Structure 1
Amino acid sequence: MLEPAKRYAGYTAYDYLEEGVDYRGFAYAAQVHRVPPYAGLDLTADQAARAERLLAQETVISLHEHVQVFPADMGELRDHIRQGREPTAYEGLARSGLTAVFDNGMDGTCCISSDAGWKYQDVLFDLGVRMADLAHQDFVVKGETVADIEHAHETGRIAHVFALEASTMIENEVDRLDVLYGFGVRQMGIAYSEANTLGSGLKERGDGGLTYFGERAVKRMNKLGIAIDISHSGDQTCLDTIAVSDKPVFITHAGARSVWPTNRMKTDATITACAERGGVIGIEAAPHTTLSPDHPRHSLESVMDHFRYCVDLVGIDHVTFGPDTLFGDHVGLHDAFAANLSLGQAHAGVEYDKVPYVDGLENPAEAMGNIIGWLVQHDYSDDEIRKVVGGNTLRVLSEVWC
């Protein structure tokens, strides 16, 4: 884990407001050293220096994270979410080495905010509050264009890209996409595990594919310049979206079903179709997702088994990382919302050892540093590492965001 970035001046979320007067305060999880550092990398001095250089000098992009910090007591999670003011983890991000991060604040996920699920006005409120906080500091800045990411790299900042896990909140109103784009949203999923008006999610019994309205929405996203994510969509909906889209699409956070046979992973056909149209898959690391037979206890090694498989399948130009980590107890989050998330259906019939956290990929502050260390340890070239930690994503964004 790095020392704090020089540009970071110590700002904490909502410093401009008064806790207890303007908003309800909570005790939050530690952003740094919540769990022991990863001990699985055994780098030589030269390898460690090379890894540090690459993390510091290259454009490093995480294609999928949750950069808010969660309550220390996950029993308070629902109350925390309902009060509508989730804090960005500036201290942790300052140690991440990231140039840009796609932040999926859980907007659009099935029923996360309340028993009624995310509504359009809920999402606009959440986005607006988060953006107001960003505007009061100068280290983490809104990322809406490739130029914003390049500027962040040049000036020692982090470009924060607002993203939504699904498009559920647009219901049947395609013009809502324009409003979300105007708010700064630059990436959206099709469906989050449960079906919506656009298509099917991966936890449904059947998959009818992309709907006619879903096709309209995809075309509008293409015209606006919103990157499309199919990570939580059903198999047929994924293939339909890839075929219908005029621009490459992302699988921002997933792995290969051929490595670990759950619906949360993507088929070879989906990964290949995505790559053939110019897209990229980001390898996932949320707890109990990207497991492997060789490393069934979830860790960095399990995740990299999926990385190697996908590189062999579609080539290194079409693979990157979307670790899907957060600041706090990710396993506790899954437990709290087990009825709403896809893990039960996705893991049906597959046994696995439950872990308290994913060793080596516990949070955004450590994820990309350990990934780069692993790549260096396994003799990937600088050019190869440059591609998979940011270059491939930038190539797609240059086409999608134009």
Structure 2
Amino acid sequence: MLQETAPRYRGHKSYSYLEPHRDYRIFELADEVGRVPDFDLGLSDAQRQRVDRLLAENVAISLHEHPVILPKDVSELRAYNRTARQHTAYAGLARSGLAAVFDNFMAGASCVTSENGWKWNDLIYALGMRLSDVAKQDYVVLATSLADIYAAKRNGQLALVAGLECCTPIENELDRIDILYGFGVRQLGIAYSQSNMLGGGLSEYADGGLTHLGRRAVDRMNRLGIAIDISHSGDRTSLEVIEASQVPVFITHAGARAVWNTPRMKPDEVIRACAERGGVIGIEAAPHTTLSEAHPSHSLDSVMDHFTYLVDLVGIDHVSFGPDTMFGDHVGVHQTYANNYAHDARPVPDHPRVPYVAGMENPAEAINSVAGWLVAHDYSDDEIVKVIGGNTIRVLEQVW
């Protein structure tokens, strides 16, 4: 299902302009291609050609990813992240079919100065180190506007939109939002599961809602032109962010709680409110999240059960995909950082554990699988174009 390597990609490997072992520590990294068996949707040649055409002719956008390469030995993950030199998966992205990717870095796991993550200094390490490497090649380009995304598409490049999953590192310093904007960040989450000074996180038993500082932060993001994400916010906080924002907001990576009843998924009330104000929900695919009773073993089929439900609930104009994937053992990431974050003790439906999500294993595979599934299920070209990027563009026209 993968695309051919983009012609503009010339083989750059992260930090190759420096001297390994002297300037930075070397880790054996996971394979960008072929780490798991190829996923076969059983498409005919004509269907495969249609997928290729749709991705070639249109701006395909992943609303939420972490397109870094993890160590092959996941036990080295903390040591790898402590160096702040996470490697961008250029070769993998060059086969993705994407025109743009919302890259949320690994700020919560970049434990350079603290084992607990989400510190301001660690965030700057994660952001600055990755973007310094991006600046040394010309296939992936930092995008801060829709014009940048369109230009990247025309030039055969991939646009990277810098985003962060939460505002926890700003602490009570509102001007840090401006600083992040100056660094090129164009999307920010409110809270990452745990509550912070802006609002409630989804893992908390009680959600106090959007704080006074949180309302000021929403206003500041609106004024600057930063897209707001409520994926990891609690239900009350999510509703109050939607109401407070003067422009639509994103749920960049989640699913429907009516399909899989866990706090990580969004209830119908939040999804409807987001859509009624013009927003978009990107469907999540990180391991053991967007499951369904019909497909409790996590796979593309599970993910698409959330898609069909959401389309029926709010219409196809408000649904996209934010797979939330990376190159390497994503299950191992969750296990490594399991103790870093508070976990909701409310019961989760029983389900099989999988080593990876078949069909949605990494950013190179995900949008191809989604487009292939939509083609196989006879969605129109117009509908597919909306889902793979058009809906996101409509929101960004209002936000940016």
What's the TM-score, normalizing by structure 1?
Answer: 0.97
Residue by residue, what CA displacement relative to the aligned partner does 1:357-377 show, whole Å, maximum 9, x if unpaired?
Answer: 000000011110111000000
Please name the residue that 1:306 is paired with: 306
Task: State the AA in 2 paired with 1:58.
Answer: N
Q: How many angstroms apart in 1 are the aligned matches of 2:157 and 2:147? A: 13
Aligned equivalent of 1:262: 262
Partner of 2:387: 388
Alignment partner, residue 197 of structure 2? 197
1:178 shift after superposition = 0.2
Query: Where do 1:100-111 residues align within 5 Å?
Result: 100-108=100-108
1:123 and 1:4 map into 2 onto residues whose CA distance is 31
Alignment-derived partner of residue 92 in structure 1: 92
Query: What amino acid is aligned across from residue 383 of structure 2 in structure 1?
Result: E
TM-aligned CA deviation for residue 202 of structure 1: 0.4
2:149 aligns to what? 149
Deviation at 1:126, TM superposition (A): 1.8
Measure, in 2, the Cα distance between the counterparts of 1:146 and 1:139.
Answer: 17
Within 5 A, what are the aligned runs for 1:21-32? 21-32=22-33
Q: How many percent of aligned residue pairs carry the same amino acid?
A: 61
Alignment of 1:68-217 (within 5 A): 68-108=68-108, 114-217=114-217
Q: Contact 2:360/2:366 (CA < 8 Å) preserved in 1?
A: yes
* Counterparts of 2:355 and 2:161, CA distance in 1: 29
Where 2:248 maps in the other structure, the secondary structure is: coil
Q: Residue 236 of structure 1 corresponds to which residue in structure 2? A: 236
Deviates more, 1:107-116 or 1:312-321: 107-116
- Contact (CA 8 Å) 2:82, 2:112: kept in 1 or not? no
Partner of 2:38: 37
> Are 1:222 and 2:222 an aligned pair?
yes
Tell me the distance in 2 between the aligned counterparts of 1:354 and 1:149.
Answer: 37
Q: What secondary structure is seen at the aligned counterpart in 1 of 2:161?
A: strand
Any runs of at least 4 consecutive aligned residues in structure 1 with deviations exceeding 6 A, and if so which?
109-113
Deviations 1:296-352 (A, max 9, x none): 10000000000010011000100000000100000111111112346x527724211
Structure 1 residues without counterparts, runs of 5 or longer: none
Equivalent residue, structure 2, for 1:318: 318
Find the aligned partners of 1:94 and 1:116 in 2 and give their Cα distance: 33
Report how far residue 116 of structure 1 moved: 3.8
Amino acid at match of 1:8: Y
Q: Answer whether contact 2:107 2:117 (CA < 8 A) is retained.
A: no
Query: Distance in 2 between the 1:115 and 1:352 partners?
Result: 30
The aligned residue for residue 371 of structure 1 is 370
Instruction: Call closer, same or farther: CA 1:330–1:42 in 2, change over 3 Å.
Output: same
1:3 matched to 2:4: yes
* Contact preservation (8 Å) 2:253, 2:323: yes
AA matched with 2:365: E
How far 1:119 moved relative to its partner?
Answer: 1.5
1:210 is displaced (CA, Å) by: 0.5
2: distance between equivalents of 1:313 and 1:27?
45
Aligned to 2:351: 352
With the length of structure 2 as denominator, give the TM-score of the two structures: 0.97
Name the CA distance, whole Å, in 1 between partners of 2:378 and 2:232. Answer: 32
SS at match of 1:366: helix
CA distance in 2, matches of 1:296, 1:65: 23
* CA–CA separation in structure 2 for the residues paired with 1:289 and 1:283: 10
